[in-house]
Amino acid sequence: MRKIIIAGNWKMHKTQAEALEFWQVFNSKLRTKGENKEVVLCAPFTCLSFLAKHLDNTGVLVGAQNIHWEDEGAYTGEVSGGMLTEIGVSYVIVGHSERRQYFADTNETVNFRLLAAQKHGLTPILCIGETKAQRDAEETDNVIINQIKKGIVDVDQNNLVIAYEPIWAIGTGETCEATEANRIIGLIRSQLTNSDVPIQYGGSVNPNNVDEIMTQPEIDGALVGGASLDPVGFARIVNYQ
Ligand code: 13P
């Protein structure tokens, strides 16, 4: 059975004090996580060690938002896999569209980062998705297939999560139709050799639309940005019906 993974991507939000405040409320609202459901908080680097200590043995896991492909070296501003595992991080987001857009990540560097994550025993969440212009030009399917093929070269599909995040749906309140997200996720799955890879949807997921999204048969969870900052709302998303 495919695992359900609900992950919050806090992006560049929350100090340690704010993370602790979040956790106290979020933890009190979490209902059954169920054996098949994993909950992950992907926080800024400065919160990771702190959160990992607070979340120890709670069943909620900690994720980073980036990883460098080398173990160490002259790479100012980057963080390696060994640095993340040492402090209790389990997941890492790789290739988020904001990293591709603002920090020059390419399909090739994304692939390097995925391989590094797996080498260190982290589970990478590979983000892929098309722009509005690509969707309007009916290039979505080709863009997605290209990103997936180039991203997962030599990657172990037994330790991989993929997130379909259409860029036009991120932070815009404009969610992709659940049936269309389901179709694209099916397309992504058709490119894999392991059909059990969990594939999430991301892009304006909120407490009001999560139930419909999660009824879709191909969708194995959500990667949530803005709505993961509010502990009550994110608990409602995790407790989807
Ligand atoms: P929003 O949920 O704010 O649209 O962000 C989605 C996202 O980028 C998660 O990685």
Active site residue 54: no
User: Do the Cβ atoms of 91 and 40 come closer than 8 Å?
Assistant: yes
Say if CB 48 and CB 83 are below 8 A apart: no
Write down the catalytic residue from 68, 96, 98, 120.
96
Please state which architecture CATH assigns to domain 65-229.
Alpha-Beta Barrel (3.20)
Alpha helices, DSSP H, located in the chain: 16-29, 45-55, 81-86, 97-102, 107-119, 132-136, 140-151, 178-190, 210-215, 231-238
pLDDT above 60: residue 204:
yes
pTM for this predicted structure:
0.97
Active site residue 96: yes
Radius of gyration of the chain (CA): 17
The predicted-structure confidence for 208-225, as pLDDT tens digits, reads as follows 999 999 999 999 999 999
Q: How far is the CA of 19 from the centre of ligand 1 (A)?
A: 18
* Separation between Cα atoms, residue 187 and residue 141, nearest integer Å: 8
Least confident window among 20-34, 145-159, 204-218:
20-34
Distance, CA of 136 to CA of 130 (rounded, Å):
10
Break the chain into its structural domains and give their ranges: 65-229
Confirm or reject: Cβ of 170 under 6 Å from ligand 1: yes
Which atom of ligand 1 has the smallest separation from the CA of 226?
3
For ligand 1, say whether the CB of 81 is within 6 Å of any of its atoms.
Answer: no
